[in-house]
Structure 1
Amino acid sequence: MVADGYEITSLDNYKIGGKEFLPVDVAQQVNWVEGDSRDFGLLSELVRGKDGVIHLAAPSSFLMYEEDPIDGASVTTQGFLNVLEAMRRNDVRKLVYASTSAVYEGNPVPYVEGMTIDPPDLKALSKKWNEDAAHQYSTRYGIKAIGLRPFSVYGHDEFSKGGYANVISLFAWAAVSKTNPVVWGDGQQTRDFIYVDDAGLAFQRALEADLDTQEFNVGTGIETTFTEAIAMVEQELGVSLAPKFVDVPIAIYAHRLLADTTRAENVLGFRARTSVREGVRRVVEATKRAQRDWPELATAQMYFETLPQH
């Protein structure tokens, strides 16, 4: 968006990253503000005079909700309501926000917008509440709110996320560090892995589109098993790994994730461009470059073995 000439103000609490992880030429072109979306006064001040808002502030991993459900739900719901109310009071009419593919859990794949959803966990429930609140503010106050339901987003620069990073990153970090990856279950669970650059493009397309309030899947429409993802890492590095398979330690766990991308393609004009193979290659190459600066990468996946049984 910076490259396309946008003037951007970013509110971030820097919990798992921030401007120091961006290329310098990009970081210098963004107005960075440290703060929390639950600070309504600050949020209202920042929203004033803006053309639109992209809202991403919420715990990025379901594991965060498992660890601290009160804070997770507070950020996700109160922060979102603050965004809506700040926009209403300052006459800002365009919102693009991150929901989650987790709202579909319990339905058969592929997941299609319009399915009946009955969220089984707190993350999904909080995001479903966001969608309902967005529709209410749209009906009552005319805010056009586009909810994007990202599937399994991964990327080349997740180092600051540690154990909360996407499994592709965790697998690559382990392999580059000459450590065998840890896998919950038998490795046959699937994800619709979408590369971070493509996910970012979806948010920009949604901001620029003149559409009524609705939701879109952000995925590739392709399933990849964890075993297949590990095999891609092996091929990129020219190594043979021996994954350690452990029992799934949580009661609610998605064994398949797959997006129906028809609406996103036909209405939003968005289609993912990066294959999983190419994405894995980028993650592996970035990990090689970062290994010296992030020696803890080898142990980031320890979370998969140490999470208490729920």
Structure 2
Amino acid sequence: MTVLDNESVGKLRHLPGHSSLWRQSGDLGDWELARRCVQSQDAVLHLAAMTRIQASLERPVECLENNIIGTAALLHACRDAGVRKIVFASSSSVYGLTPPPHREDGPTDPLNPYALSKWAGERLLKYWVDAGYGDAICLRYFNVYGPGENEAGDYSTVIRRFRTLRLQGTPLTIYGDGEQRRDFTHVLDVAQANVLALTTNLPGHHIVNIGAGDNRSVNDVAALIGGPVVHLPARLGEARETQADNSLARELLGWHPTVPFGKAIRDLIQADDQEGKP
């Protein structure tokens, strides 16, 4: 197994040691390096991306270059190396303002460069499959959260940001009225979906939602984490509500969410209090 990461967010040193694991620091923009990394691999799990909506609005060219050109470069490398299967990390952000519950065969409405880049990645994978190079599964992740979120600022999720502010004794900042609703999906459930997508034989091109199938408001999340709250103006480019119809994931992959949201948040808060940091 080979892991290629430019370490702009996560760090390769955090990966557990294993004799069959090769860590490589680098970027998909280095096509020759990408080709060497995918050589002799049975499948590729493509997680590399510039993430977060607000970062993409502030640096749109960087986002589109990383996420679209980077994906195209990886597909080119996979074609030359003879890789026959790719699992692609897409995003629920492609649904935009379309009403939930969101189905894979429903309309899309990318509202920002990040969402657009993920939609474009799905289309590139469709071309790759239609050209006969292999099979692809695009997993649309819904608001992933959990342990291991180690970045702040542009790359911070709402749950990660609330946890940080709580430990600092600072009011939790909510953009808008806080009634925007999100389908939060635990990282362990997402990891299981990745494994199932890699190991399930699904010829062709498939798009599959990976979400808990319910949602809750940002105000509810703030109340669960605890602490005073301050409201700031709403931010552009964000959906009002997300909620996955995950029936296709159950049907095609045998996947279902297993981590209860409330318990997961309590576990994160307990860990924060013990360690003194999120």
- For the superposition of Structure 1 and Structure 2, which TM-score range results when normalised by the shorter chain? over 0.9
Shift of 1:127: 1.2
Residue 212 (structure 2) pairs with residue 259 (structure 1): no
Question: What residue is the counterpart of 1:16 in the other structure?
Answer: 9
Structure 1 CA distance for aligned equivalents of residues 265 and 79 of structure 2: 42
Structure 2 CA distance for aligned equivalents of residues 109 and 230 of structure 1: 22
- Aligned pairs (5 A) from 1:175-254: 175-212=166-203, 213-234=205-226, 241-250=227-236, 252-254=237-239
Question: What residue is the counterpart of 2:39 in the other structure?
Answer: 48
User: Size of the alignment, in residue pairs?
Assistant: 276
Shift of 1:90: 1.1
TM-score under structure 1 normalisation? Answer: 0.85
- Aligned pairs (5 A) from 1:100-111: 100-111=91-102
Deviations 1:4-34 (A, max 9, x none): xxxx211011111213334xxx245531100
- Aligned pairs (5 A) from 1:1-310: 8-22=1-15, 26-29=16-19, 30-212=21-203, 213-234=205-226, 241-250=227-236, 252-291=237-276
The aligned amino acid for 2:4 is L
Partner SS for 1:96 = strand
Structure 2 CA distance for aligned equivalents of residues 67 and 131 of structure 1: 23
Query: What are the ranges of 5 or more consecutive residues in structure 2 without an aligned counterpart?
Result: none
The aligned amino acid for 2:88 is Y
Deviations 1:78-104 (A, max 9, x none): 111111111111111010011111111
TM-score under structure 2 normalisation? Answer: 0.94
Counterparts in 2 of 1:18 and 1:289: CA distance versus 1, 3 Å: farther
The aligned amino acid for 2:62 is D
Question: What residue is the counterpart of 1:301 in the other structure?
Answer: none
Q: Which runs of 4+ in 1 moved over 4 A?
A: none
Deviations 1:140-199 (A, max 9, x none): 123101000001001122123445221112112222332220000111111100111111
Contact 1:185 1:248 in 2 (8 A): yes
Contact 1:92 1:143 in 2 (8 A): yes
Structure 2 CA distance for aligned equivalents of residues 50 and 97 of structure 1: 15
Question: What residue is the counterpart of 1:305 in the other structure?
Answer: none
Contact 1:157 1:286 in 2 (8 A): no
Query: What are the ranges of 5 or more consecutive residues in structure 1 without an aligned counterpart?
Result: 1-7, 235-240, 298-310
Shift of 1:40: 0.6
Contact 2:97 2:240 in 1 (8 A): no
Instruction: Please say which of residues 156-165 and 202-211 is displaced more in the overlay.
Output: 156-165
Structure 2 CA distance for aligned equivalents of residues 39 and 290 of structure 1: 38
